[in-house]
Structure 1
């Protein structure tokens, strides 16, 4: 290689650690810029990967005695960890439920519209869960026919009456009011209804917004978050929002939804478990969110995806009364 070609390459190699540090900063402490940029918001979903990169960069800067870089790596790492630390902090012991009637057990699962798996096995698993509410997204009309046998256990059902990825089915052991027409008429529908549990009425919101791969889809997903936040914030009833939200807890838009919708993430205290996997990447994008007064008794991700690219999320909640 000629000296004239080697010099730019050497400069690039010297700059590479700084460029990687800047990218890690943008994907973590700078992720708030993702409120306006779909590109930065996509970077924010990989916060755990960025933290791994920061560890590598810290080791490199110490080895090369680049102390400014080492200090910056530590500072960015601390700023990246602090907002998500509650997810790993053990929760205080929940008070024992006085009865099963005081609890609400929910499942949120994207079944995958072209799932090649055994649908009867999936139906059998759903029947065995003793859930109060089950939200199935990407639940096509064919899927719904295959799950018709669940009506004996979950007699109350609401459907988006759409096919493909717009299909959605809410199953309930308890009576459901008609779904709000505002959600059903959207190009990407949601189901908002009131469920009559033994312990009282609750507002249930099931969602599967757009995958924010581009500017218009990003805007459409965020508009649905804004509509959902309005519904949950203004509801006089206890609220549960669940579904494939196409967003991780690391996103500034997810944090916005929690704050503006007066919601908390049932995953807090349970760590991060991927609910979706594709191309070797796993991300927690399926959620159960609860309004004030709900105590999370149990929350887990089922290890078997049953042919889908998403894993079911199960949560057991107890309503203690609005503060």
Structure 2
């Protein structure tokens, strides 16, 4: 439960990234926007966001760059940034979206949200998604993957993702990110470089945000 035993220290010069599954039917988009803006992140990556809701307008104005996969389903996905990105593309590992965003210094951010394994078809789709994602990540240099992976750290498919993608976790296994069961389904995984991740307070969603300070260099451990 305490693995990984050592985590990267905070870096005040790091790029701050927030990952948050905001929930498809979020009842307080305006309040969520205000909370996110107050964190002063450089980039926000959001799952299940319904951008037609005017409550997200302030957030979108604060983060004018990036890209989004708009969908009236839990698989809406967005990466928004305060500064221009070198690239921002929608990918489809299997049949579900992911986002690959390239920062100006060449670092690569992936945002991911595979389907939950609530039936046999979706379970197979999740495995395919994570496998294809791992293949892509293994070809990258400095990369951060954030997402609601619908997999706890004890899932064998999560462990295969770490192994095949050459990734390491930046939070401990025991961190609860999803209610009502308190499971750790939201992750920030790093390949090369350093990242210090903390969980932000619960708000309106059934998930809680993760805040990752993403360094441009490796931290010696």
Superposed displacement of residue 290, structure 1: 0.9
Change (3 A) 1:201 1:90: closer
Bigger-Rg structure (1/2): 1
Which residue pairs with 2:156 in the alignment? Answer: 252
1:194 aligns with 2:102: yes
Q: Which runs of 5+ in 1 are unaligned?
A: 1-83
Superposed displacement of residue 265, structure 1: 0.7
**Structure 1 moving runs of 4+ over 2 Å:** 84-87, 89-92, 150-153, 176-184
Q: Which runs of 5+ in 2 are unaligned?
A: none
Change (3 A) 1:239 1:302: same
Is the CA contact 2:95–2:125 (under 8 Å) kept in the aligned structure 1? no
Q: Distance in 2 between matches of 1:233 and 1:247?
A: 19
Superposed displacement of residue 219, structure 1: 1.2
Is the CA contact 2:108–2:144 (under 8 Å) kept in the aligned structure 1? yes
Superposed displacement of residue 91, structure 1: 4.1
Equivalence map 1:17-166=2 (5 Å): 84-87=1-4, 89-91=5-7, 94=9, 97=11, 100=13, 103-116=14-27, 118-143=28-53, 145-166=54-75
Higher helix fraction (1 or 2): 1
Is the CA contact 2:68–2:90 (under 8 Å) kept in the aligned structure 1? no
TM-score under structure 1 length normalisation: 0.63
TM-score under structure 2 length normalisation: 0.89
Which residue pairs with 1:285 in the alignment? Answer: 185
- CA deviations 1:132-170 (Å, max 9, x no partner) are 221110112334x42122244312121102122121111
Is the CA contact 1:292–1:322 (under 8 Å) kept in the aligned structure 2? no
> Number of residue pairs matched?
220
- CA deviations 1:186-212 (Å, max 9, x no partner) are 64211112122xxx1211111110101
Is the CA contact 2:32–2:204 (under 8 Å) kept in the aligned structure 1? no
Q: Distance in 2 between matches of 1:104 and 1:230?
A: 25
